Amino acid sequence: MQDYCRGALVQIDNQFSGKRPTLEEIAMIRRESAGCKPLYHLVEYAHCLRVPDKVFDHPVIQELENMGMDMVAISNDILSYRKEQAEGVPHNMVTACRLNGLSAQEAFDKVGKLLEDRYRRWDRAEASVPSWGEEADVQVRKYIEGIKCVVRANLNWSFKSERYLGSNPDVVRATRKLQILADSPAIDAQPKLFDRTFLLEISFLLGICFSLRIIFPWQFFFG
């Protein structure tokens, strides 16, 4: 929770100081402010796991935890952009790209590539998980699967809730297009100032939502 509070405070400071962080900078901030890591502890509790402390200190496990948090934050910023754009919310990765001069489609594409990078890094890390002995390995595997479930749950909730996509999430899933405001994002803008919208492709994200075989088919992005 300290990480979450620190990330939230950095977002507030950036907003009031007018700082425009780069995509990688805001990705690191959102890793904390998205509030994902506390869910990992619930995974331990729900499955009655007894994972040794040395496992959590291992760089491979820390990489998996970080990639899970990044994937939640990045996909959240993609799907929440329309809502946050209308509200003038600046701490969004797509918004950060647009405030640094990219068009809407260019911004979504750049954030999409960042998401692809995180999937590749996940694959490399998962393939290099060491062994801590048969009993511990069973616990570790359940913990890693729990991280995957956190990522999947965030996506499922985003499409089932009306918070980001309104009453037509099925249209977004079917067309793989997201309708957003045409105007460039302005931190002090009010929703009533916007009266034009347009569609842009977000297929790089939606490809991961419909696989019934594996949870992290990042290669779908290239199909």
Mean pLDDT score, 189-201: 42
Q: How far is CA 19 from CA 5, 10, 22, 87, in A?
A: 19, 10, 10, 18
* Angle in degrees, CA 218, 29, 94, rounded to 5: 55
Q: What is the pLDDT of residue 163?
A: 83
- pLDDT confidence bin for 196, thresholds 50/70/90: very low
Residue type for position 111: V
Determine the Cα–Cα distance for residues 167 and 159; give it in Å rounded to an integer. Answer: 10
Mean pLDDT score, 74-93: 84
- pLDDT confidence bin for 27, thresholds 50/70/90: confident
Q: What is the pLDDT of residue 140?
A: 96
The string of pLDDT tens digits covering residues 126-179 is 999 999 999 999 999 999 999 999 999 988 888 888 888 888 788 887 787 888
Q: What is the pLDDT of residue 18?
A: 63
- Residue 58 above 90 pLDDT? yes
Mean pLDDT score across all residues of the chain = 77
**Superfamily name with CATH number, domain 2-222:** Farnesyl Diphosphate Synthase (1.10.600.10)
